[in-house]
Amino acid sequence: MVATAPFLPTVPEGLREAILAWYDARGRSLPFRGTTDPYAVLVSEVMAQQTQISRVAPAWTTFMAAFPTIADLAAASPADVLRAWRGMGYNRRALNLWRAARVVVDEHGGRLPSEVAALERLPGIGAYTARAVAAIAFGSPVGAVDTNVRRVLGRAIGGAIDAFPPSELQRVADVAVPADRPADWTHALMDVGATFCRTTQPLCGECPALAFCRYAAASPAAGRVGRVGRDASPAPRFTATSRWLRGRILDRLREVEGTGWLVVDAPIGGHDRAAIVAALERLASEGLLELDPASPLSARLPVG
C-alpha cells in the first residue's frame, strides 16, 4: 500500500492579499521593523518572546545602542547584558542571547547563519525565532509559528484555532507564506493575531481576513463588529508570584556598580527570608546571579 501525504488545506484565495493590504495601511510602526540586519532582527525577536510589543520597542532601541553589533554583545560581560535587559523580564533570554552571540563570533565568523537549522542550534533559539529571523532578515519563505500565528492560520485556513496538529501547522504556515514578501507576512500575521484574532475575544467584524476566513464563515457571531467570546479573566496578583520576586531581586542587583556583592534584605513584598533564599538559589542555578559563599542572602550579577 502506497503511503499518502496528509491532507493540506488550501489557503483561501485573497487571504494573503487582504492581510498584506491591511498591513501596508495599518500595520504597527515599530523601530525594529525598519531593519533587515540579522543581528538587530534576532534581538527584537528574542525580546518579543512572551513580552508585549509596546515594551519591546523602547527596550530594543536602548539595547542596540549599548551593543550595536553582535561582536559588541559577545564581548560584553553577562552582568552588563543583564543590566541592559532591565524591565524586560524572562532574564534567561538575555543570557541566551549573549551566549548565542559568542557562538556566532566563535563559530560563524561573527555573521548569523541564514539557515533555519543552523539558527536553531544557537543557545535559546527555538523554531519560531529561527524562522522569524530567516524570513525577516534573509527573505526565506518559511512560516514562523507562535500563538498569534497559530490562531490566525488555524481559524482562517482550518476553521478553528486547533485545526492543525503542530507538525501539520508548520507545513500550513510554510505554504501560506507569499514568496515575494516573507518579512511583511511575518509581521502582518503577528499584528492580525494581536489586534483582531484574540483567543477568547476575537474582533472578527473588524479583521481584514473576515471575508476569507473559514472560522468566520462558520460562526454567525463572527461577522459583527466588536468582540465575541467570554469576558477576560481577572488579572492575576503578580506580586505574590515567584517570578515577580525574582524580577525584583535582579532589579536590586542591577543597581550595584561593578562586581560588588549586595545583601538582599527580607521581606520583599509578601515574600519572607526563606522565599528569598529559594529564589536566589534558583536564579544562581540558572546562571542569572552569583551567590556569596559567606552569606545565603548576598549575591551579585554574574561577572564572566
Distance of CA 123 to the CA centre of its chain: 15
Distances from the Cα of 278 to the Cα of 73, 248, 267, angstroms = 30, 14, 13
* Sequence-ordered strand ranges (E) for 131-189: none
Distance CA 213, CA 106 (A): 46
Active site residue 168: no
Most distant CA atoms of the chain, gap in Å: 70
Return phi, psi of residue 290, to 5°: -115, 140
**Residue 173, CB half-sphere, CA atoms under 13 Å: how many?**
29
Burial profile 51-64: b = 16 or more Cβ within 10 angstroms, e = fewer: bebeebbebbeebb
3-state class (DSSP) for residue 27: coil
Closest by CA to 86, choosing from 62, 64, 69, is 62
**Are the C-beta atoms of residues 277 and 264 closer than 8 Å to each other?**
no
Separation CA 224–CA 113 (nearest Å): 45
Among 45, 107, 115, 255, which one carries the catalytic annotation? Answer: 45
HSE-up of 69 (CA within 13 Å, CB side)?
7
Q: Which H or E element spans position 167?
A: helix 166-176
Per-residue cell: 284: 544562581
Contacts of 87 (CB under 8 A, 6+ apart): 55, 59
Catalytic residues: 45
